[in-house]
Amino acid sequence: MKIKKESPQVQRARKKLEEEFNNQEKQINPDALNKMRRVIQQWINRHAPERVKLEDKTFSLFDENKHSEVAHNSYVIHKLAALRKQGNKSTTTSDLKKRISQA
């Protein structure tokens, strides 16, 4: 199998991408990671008052019988209805009858 030579444009693009990749790799070092860690921690601390304390909230995903909790959000209710409608269309009994063969 013959391997074609790369065109000059492809060679330039490859070289440019390799240089960019190497420059980005040089920027990832322990000092840069520590600096980013500090920036993230400062952001978290700065936004701490906005956080909702889960200890104060009561929520449940399932009831005692392991059925999903009733949705209260209209967006979620709309999406659930659409999923149920879509699910009903895809599995009709006539489709299943066609798939079942007599043994």
- pLDDT of the residue at 96: 61
- Cite the DSSP H helix spans in 1-103: 8-27, 30-46, 74-90, 93-99
For the chain, give the mean pLDDT. Answer: 82
Choose from 43-47, 71-75, 91-95, 98-102 the range with maximum mean pLDDT: 43-47
Give the pLDDT band (50/70/90) at residue 103. very low
Give the pLDDT band (50/70/90) at residue 20. very high
Q: Give the domain ranges of the chain.
A: 8-50+66-97
A 10 A CB-CB count for 71 gives 13
Q: How far apart are the first and last CA of the chain?
A: 52
Q: Is 69 left (phi over 0), alpha (psi -120 to 50) or beta?
A: beta
- pLDDT of the residue at 94: 59
